[in-house]
Every structure is written in C-alpha cells, then in structure tokens.
Amino acid sequence: MNRPWLAHYPPGVPHDVDPSQYRSLAALLEESLRQNARHPVSVCMERWMSYGQLDEHSAAIGAWLQAQGLPPGARVAVMLPNVPQFLVTMAAILRAGYTVVNVNPLYTSRELEHQLRDSGAEAIVILENFCHTLEEVIDHSPVRHVVVASMGDLMGFWYGRWISFAVRHLAKLVPAFRLSLTGPLGARTVVTFRQALADGGARSMKPSTATLDAVAFLQYTGGTTGLSKGAVLTHRNVIAAILQAEAWFQPALARVGNVHQTNSIAALPLYHIFALTLSLLSIRWGAHMTLVPNPRDVPGFVATLKRRPFHLLPAVNTLFNALLQDPQFRQVDFSHLLFGQAGGMAASEATAKQWLGVTGSPMIEGWGMSETCAIGTNNPVNSREFSGTIGLPLPGITIAIKDDAGNSLPVGSSGEICIHGPNVMVGYHNQAEETARAFTADGFLRTGDIGIMDERGYTRIVDRKKDMILVSGFNVFPNELEQVIASCPGVLECAAVGIEDAKQGEAVKVFVVRSDPTLREEDVARFCHDNLTGYKRPKYIEFRDELPKTNVGKILRRALRAAP
C-alpha cells in the first residue's frame, strides 16, 4: 500500500521499527535496569527511586509472586495510582513472566468484579484505599493472592510511615475493610507490600520465559458503551509502540543532549494506555518520571511543576486547560519543555494557542487507542502551529480510510479510520465475535473514529461514529461544534450531544462551563449563529459548573446524553 506520509517525516525519523531486537519486554527492562542502576527512575512527593532500587524491589515482588505457584502467563491485577509501587509492580509482573491487568482504582465493585472475572486474575496488588471495593467482590473472583500497599511504602522509613498515617487517619482516605484468609476457592494469601518485599527479597526470581508473542498486558477499554473489553497486547505490540514513540520524538530529543536527563511528567494515570506506554519509553531511555498521584489538585500539580525543569508533559485537553486557568502556572519555568503531548481526546485549537502563548512550547496532538498501545498518529514534534489534525502515521503504521464494507476510500473522503501495524492488538480477550468485527478482511483494525486524510497523509478526525448527531438528515459532528464554541469568549469548556427531537429526529444540545460568570445563553447563541451553519447550531444551551469526565479527563458525552 502506498504510504504518502513518509515523504513528510521529519529528518532522521525511520520508516519502520524492529521489535525483534528484544526477546520480550522483560529483556527491555533488564537491559535498562542494568545500564542505569545509578540513575533516578522516579520522584514522587520529593522522594526518589533509582533504577537500582527498581531492580531490587521488582525482583523481590516477582520472586514473591512466583513463590505463590502462579504458572507462567498468569494474570496479575494492578490497582494502584501514580506512586512508585506501580512501577515496581509492573516491572515485577513482566520480569517474572506474568501478564499485567491494569485496573482503574476508582472502579465500582461491579466494574472491578467484571474485570477480575473476565481476565482470570489470580493475584492483585492494590492500594489499601481501595480494598473496601475489593472486599465486596473478591469471593466472586478468581483472586487468591492479595498484596496490600500503603501510600508511603517506598518513601523512606520515617517519611513513608508519616504519609501512610496521614492518609489513613488525618485525611481518612482508607475506608475500613476486611480481606479474609479463606474464600470459595480455599486458602487465600493476604500480605502487605512490605511483607512481600521482605519475603521475596530472600528468594531468587526465575527469569521470564515469555516470548514476543506472549501476552504482556490485558488492557481494558473504558467500557463507555457497555462492559469493558480486554485488549490483548503482546510483548511485540508494546515494544513496537515504545520504539515508534522513541523514533518520532527524536527530533525534539536532540535538544536535550543526554536523554538520561529527561524528566517526563506522569500526571495521567499510569494504568491508562497513554501514560503506560510513555512510562515504558522513559524507562528505555534511562530517564526519570515525576509521578503525580492526584493531578486534579491543580494547585498541587503546579507546585510540583515549579520544583525542577521538565521536558515532556503528556496530557488530555482538559488537563492542559485546567493548568492554564491556574494563576501560578505562568510562574513555572518552561525553558526546558520540548512540547506538550496531547492525546486521549480531541485537542482544542483555543487551548493549543493559549498553551503556546504561555509556555512558548507547542501542544502536539496525537491519536491512538488501548487497542494500539496508545500509538497511531502524531504531528511532527518540531511543529510550532496547531494543525487541526492528528498528524501522520508513526513508523511501521499504515492508516486507511474505509467504508463500512472495508473498502479503502480516495483521498479527501470521509470514512472510518482503520489502522495496521506491529503495535495493534491481536484481539479482545475471550471475545471471538468482537475480535472478528473489529478487523477488516485485509487485517486493519476498525477504530470507530470517522476521519479524512489529505494527500500528505495527515488525518483529521471528524468524530466518533456513535457520537454523530443526525439533524433533519444532516450529519453533525460534536467535535466540530466543541472546537468552535470553545473559542467563544467566556467559555472554559463545552460538550455537544444529540437529544431526541420530534421534528428534526435529533437536536443539538450544548453544555457549557463558563470562565466568565457574566456569559449569557444569548451570547453563546449569537456566537454560534455567526460561526455555524443553521442545522449545526445548538437548539439548547445549558450552563454547568463542571462536566462529567473519566479519571483521565475525557468528557463523558454519554453521561450528558442521559442527563434529565
């Protein structure tokens, strides 16, 4: 297939990558741990962890898991926020030859039970703050081994104990729970993270025998249209994604010089595929991450950014916007920032322009999915202007715009964005029919995004198939409306949805959060009248103090459609 985008790659970016240079993710990790033992890998609440410590701790947790008799490839769930224990646990599972099942710590008991049962997770490493949720469902799950972590476990003897005490007794963020030592499947092991470290530290971890085609992650989708599905990501998939991102970032990294000095901000949840892939890339570089456990505390997040220079800041549009609204953000030192990497949702031109004006650094929009290890397309990292597109396919990736029958459409046509590459999942766990529906006859993954590709290979997303609004027979795409309305003076953020209408089939309703409290409905309506054609103008405008979002910050249109 012709790949016109290759002619527009920045100098030095390869056309393809070779995942086979590693036998597994465990080998990639082992190499970095060995070469970078004396370098820092993370800082959290001003407590540092080195690669040498990550090596020691992950080997201990890996040995403990192996001592429980888990067979190679066993599923181990991880229910942790952005704390050092996450990096240790993820590395331990992969190095010990098991499969990581990332779990959103804010899941309800129903969501947690589904994921544990569907994945077949036999063990879980969980922060004590969320154990009350596990308590409700553990007897209905295959989990037989539980490791309970506390917030301060890896933050030093005295400071760590103080942090854990404060979380439990001052902030009262740890609801009471009881995890019994017996269950329907017999005896159950329940230990603290510190106990597992100590017990595993007295053992030797057996090296992983996983191959490139073994399953590294069961990465569950958000489940916004029903029960979440587990994307099966092999070691080959994830290594390819790491190498693709590394290749694409090279033109910007040349400014850093020594890649070991790179400081990436890990504010997005590490269990999310976007942050997860970039964290593994940071480890491959031997660089370090600043872990931000609670980015919703924007003043606290800004205070963290002010402490030391940083080079990469991955975020979703809503998080970029929230930072820009904080008055202290303008006092941050942006002199080392290479770019802000936007993904996870559509980026706003208004936010991108403001970001560039405040930081002097561009906001680079990219696109990907859990099913593609977060990697798909990205704008060149040496761009200085917002393109309004999701950029070019990364090395080794082919993008095609297809119709419902799977036929490729000509340049400039609107259709479903379909993707093929070494980073694309092999399928959905235990979902043969869903997997078959997800791929075209020629092996491209259907993404559910509607887009248009130009002659250079740049793709513009029109919207999600399921979010399209049909007004009197005309297709209206919420992304377009939101881009326009977000530029209305006095609008902080907005979301557009379709609601039933007796005359038009559907009508457009827009939910608006104001930055200017004096903004009126007629002001927004007038702006829409001046900037949108008739059938695209909202029939209803509703002001909200905030919009419902996922834990990553993606606006939940589904929840707005269901609102009375």
Task: Collect the ranges in the chain with pLDDT lower than 50.
Answer: 223-225
Q: Is residue 455 part of a domain?
A: yes
Report the distance separating Cα 220 and Cα 198, nearest Å.
31
Q: Domain of 73: which CATH number?
A: 3.40.50.980
Q: Give SS3 for 197.
A: helix
Verify that 353 and 277 share a domain, yes or no: yes
Does 343 fall in a domain? yes
Exposure string for 4-25, b = 16+ CB within 10 A, e = fewer: ebeeebeeebeeebebeebebb
Is 147 in a helix, a strand, or coil?
Answer: strand
Q: Is residue 225 part of a domain?
A: no
CATH number of the domain residue 557 falls in: 3.30.300.30
Do 519 and 390 belong together in one domain?
Answer: no
Domain boundary among 464, 489, 512: 464
Among 435, 464, 493, the domain-final residue is 464
Quick: pLDDT tens for 406-415: 999 999 999 9
Element (H, E) at 28: helix 25-35
Average pLDDT, the chain: 93
Strands 123-127 and 145-149: parallel
In a domain, 320, yes or no: yes
Say if 34 falls within a structural domain: no
Backbone angles phi, psi at 506, to 5 degrees: -135, 155
Distance between CA atoms of residues 478 and 560, nearest Å: 13
How many domains does one find in the chain?
Answer: 3
> Does 434 share its domain with 485?
no
For residue 473, what pLDDT is reported? 66
Q: Please check whether residues 326 and 299 belong to one and the same domain.
A: yes
Question: pLDDT, tens digit, for every residue of 382-427?
Answer: 998 888 899 999 999 999 999 989 999 999 999 999 999 999 999 9
Q: Same domain, yes or no, for 400 and 301? A: yes
How distant is the alpha carbon of residue 357 from its chain centre? 26
Residue 39 included in any domain: no
Cα–Cα dist 117/103, whole Å: 12
State whether 78 and 130 are in the same domain.
yes
- Domain extent, residue 255, equals 4-18+234-464
Say if residue 182 is exposed, middle or buried (CB neighbours under 10 Å; 0-12, 13-18, 19+).
exposed
Does residue 484 share a domain with residue 395?
Answer: no
User: Quick one: 239 and 310 in the same domain?
Assistant: yes
8, 83: one domain: no
Q: Looking at the structure, do residues 448 and 480 belong to the same domain, yes or no? A: no
Residue 109 within any structural domain of the chain: yes
Question: Can you name the residues that pair with 502 across neighbouring β-strands?
Answer: none
Q: 410, 443, 464 — which closes off a domain?
A: 464
Nearest to 371 by CA among 418, 446, 450, 424: 424
Q: The tokens of 514 are what? A: 């104001």
In angstroms, the CA 546 to CA 552 distance is 15
Question: Is 399 in the same domain as 496?
Answer: no
Per DSSP, 106 falls in state T
Same domain as 489, residue 349: no
> Cβ distance 50 to 88 under 8 Å?
no
